[in-house]
Amino acid sequence: MASDANTVNIESAAAVKARGYHHGDLGAALVDCGMRLLESGDAESLSLRAVAREAGVSATAVYRHFADKAALLRALAREGLDQLAQNQRNAMMHAGGGAAGLDASGAAYVRFAVARPQLFRMIMSNIAVANGDVIDQTAAAPERVSGAMRQLRDAIAALAPPGTSAEEVRIIAARSWAQA
Amino acid sequence: MASDANTVNIESAAAVKARGYHHGDLGAALVDCGMRLLESGDAESLSLRAVAREAGVSATAVYRHFADKAALLRALAREGLDQLAQNQRNAMMHAGGGAAGLDASGAAYVRFAVARPQLFRMIMSNIAVANGDVIDQTAAAPERVSGAMRQLRDAIAALAPPGTSAEEVRIIAARSWAQA
DNA sequence: GCCATGATGCTAACACTGTAAACATTCCTG
DNA sequence: CAGGAATGTTTACAGTGTTAGCATCATGGC
């Protein structure tokens, strides 16, 4: 069988052979595959069917783990956000906290945004609609713009590629600030 | 004829009857119809076919005026941006320029964003990819954050609905600043 | 030990979408 | 008035999200 053109990648095909019918933990596997697809630059044309294909599973199997495509995207955004936060925490730890730590955290943020632009854009697009708690967290951040914010923005401006617009820098800084 | 379910709105149907084959100025009409569809809350599911339908024209006719869907969206974003700028200019004029004018301009910006959220979101999504000149303009804006900026942000925070996150306020302020 | 049942997967199908190709009609220029 | 250049139309195709109904597995109660 499988003579039609819907060839999945070899690893997945083998995995299918190995697992039989049930997949150990689709859902987790789906967000992994979605992540991988976002890495490989396929941009915003990330389709439900494509991630199902990548996972070596039929398109409709996704619906056993996510209500709809939006839910999948939200899960991806959340996972990406977690990774980002982890990166920032690590950077901050490594720098030993304090102002230097905050600087490092901001730098990690920008590195993330530059290294994985598709993921980053996806996060930014979906986080506003995602589960409210993250939104609430950022909304609950104090309003004061202290010197650290300026510091952060400077660090970002220094790290960002030359093409980056001043406004993008400002947005990134705001995000980073709220995150921290 | 026209016995199938693709009923266009009455005005357009009449217009079709009146014009015969050629439409006076599709392209302009298309962005008008797209605008109207964005107003009526249909959100991000704005389809090329839908605006063609709204214009009382076959889907593929769009391609005589726009290279692809992205081009249509860009045109819509540009039109929306023009309207925004016009609103801001008017508000500023009416307030008599100066700090009060800047305040009024910011207020007009927020009013726009709140009154037509679909359009606003669409502009924000597409402007980064749109024709470079607008981007360049914003990028060329001086980096300094003066007292006026803070003033602007305060005005926005006062005008925005209670649910608006602090970060959204900051982004709006940045946009508005760059615009002005 | 078996087998009912729920969780999980699959195929088929539907209503959409964006887009290309080929044909039709109208406008405008020579 | 002829004949191209514009502009619209129909038809078709590949791809999308989603639903309905069926198949297969894992597991806990008898």
What is the sign of the dihedral through the CA atoms of B77, B82, B88 and B91? negative
- Asked if B43 reaches chain A (Cβ–Cβ under 8 Å), the answer is no
Q: Do B165 and A135 touch (CB under 8 A)?
A: yes
Query: Can you spell out the DSSP letters for B32-101?
Result: HHHHHHHHTT-TT---HHHHHHHTTS-GGGGGGT-SSHHHHHHHHHHHHHHHHHHHHHHHHHHHTSHHHH
Amino acid B128: pLDDT: 54
- For A114, A134, B16, the CA distances from B24, given in Å and listed in that order, are 46, 50, 10
> pLDDT tens across A138-152, in order?
333 333 333 344 444
Amino acid B75: pLDDT: 95
**Could you give the CA distance from residue A62 to residue A71 in angstroms, rounded to a whole number?**
10
Length of chain B, please? 180
B140 sits in which H/E element: helix B132-140
Q: Is residue A116 helix, strand or coil?
A: coil
Chunked mean pLDDT (size 10), chain B, 180 residues = 35 46 83 93 86 96 96 93 90 86 78 85 68 37 37 47 48 42
Both tokens of A46, joined, read 């990330």
Amino acid A8: pLDDT: 38
- Do B59 and B48 contact (CB within 8 A), yes or no? yes
Closest nucleotide (CA of A5 to C1')? Answer: D14
- Asked if B115 reaches chain A (Cβ–Cβ under 8 Å), the answer is no
- Do B106 and B85 contact (CB within 8 A), yes or no? no
* Residue in A160, A151, A149 with CA at minimum distance from that of residue A109: A160
Non-local (6+) Cβ contacts of A167 within 8 A are B138, B139, B141, B174, B175, B178
**Could you give the CA distance from residue B82 to residue B149 in angstroms, rounded to a whole number?**
22
Query: In which residue are the tokens 């990028």 written?
Result: B139
The model's pTM is: 0.71
What is the sign of the dihedral through the CA atoms of A151, B174, B76 and B159? positive
Both tokens of A145, joined, read 């713009």
Give the pLDDT band of residue A20 (cuts 50, 70, 90).
low
**For chain A, what percent of residues have pLDDT higher than 90?**
31
Q: Do B178 and A171 touch (CB under 8 A)?
A: no
- Do A170 and A100 contact (CB within 8 A), yes or no? no
Give the count of Cβ contacts less than 8 A between chain A and B. Answer: 37
